[in-house]
Amino acid sequence: TCRLSSLHYNSSSDVIIAIIYQLISRLYLNIKFLILDFDGVLTDNRVYVNQHGEETVACHRGDGWGIKLLKEASIEIVVLSTESNPVVSVRTDKLGIKCWQNCNDKGAAVKNLIEEKSINPDNVMYVGNDTNDAEAMALVGFPAAPADAHPDILQLAKIITKAKGGYGVVRELATLLIG
């Protein structure tokens, strides 16, 4: 299997197709709105708990840079998370992006965001890693997933990053979307 910029191929002869895809992606992907899950996309889906019961997570600094680049390219970014831990809002505040926490119905939330912003779903990318992201992914033009997402989510994704969750998923997508 050959992997090149978010795509998987069964033979090295398919690399030419991958290069063409990259060129077409940059010309025809017109993403205006990026919706990210937090755990499993911006993190590696693990949680660290200290002796005081406080939870922490690790995020990839490259994703912060990718978010900066995407924002400079006028792509709006939000985080939708079922997580209630304040670590999500602390990180998104630092990155200068909005987040919705305690979101138990991501499909309804995405539908509302698309309607509120009067944006064509074809101009929306949703990046999720687990089955609670499936309904939201089905509502957008470009569902995407990290390499280590749940198998059901990988089947829904039009774009699968080489990066695993928490290891530069957003940075990789920034390269795909804006070069």
pLDDT tens per residue across all 179 residues of the chain: 333 444 455 556 566 666 665 665 555 568 999 999 999 999 999 999 999 999 999 999 999 999 999 999 999 999 999 999 999 999 999 999 999 999 999 999 999 999 999 999 999 999 999 999 999 999 999 999 999 999 999 999 999 999 999 999 999 999 988 87
**Residue pointed to by tokens 């698309």:** 114
75 closest CA partner among 123, 42, 109: 123
pTM of the predicted model as reported, rounded to 2 decimal places = 0.85
Q: Are 64 and 174 in contact (CB under 8 A)?
A: no
How far is it, in rounded angstroms, from Cα 55 to Cα 65?
A: 24
Q: Are 94 and 67 in contact (CB under 8 A)?
A: no
How far is it, in rounded angstroms, from Cα 114 to Cα 120?
A: 7
C-alpha separations of 65 from 2, 59, 96, 166, 168 in Å: 27, 12, 12, 13, 10
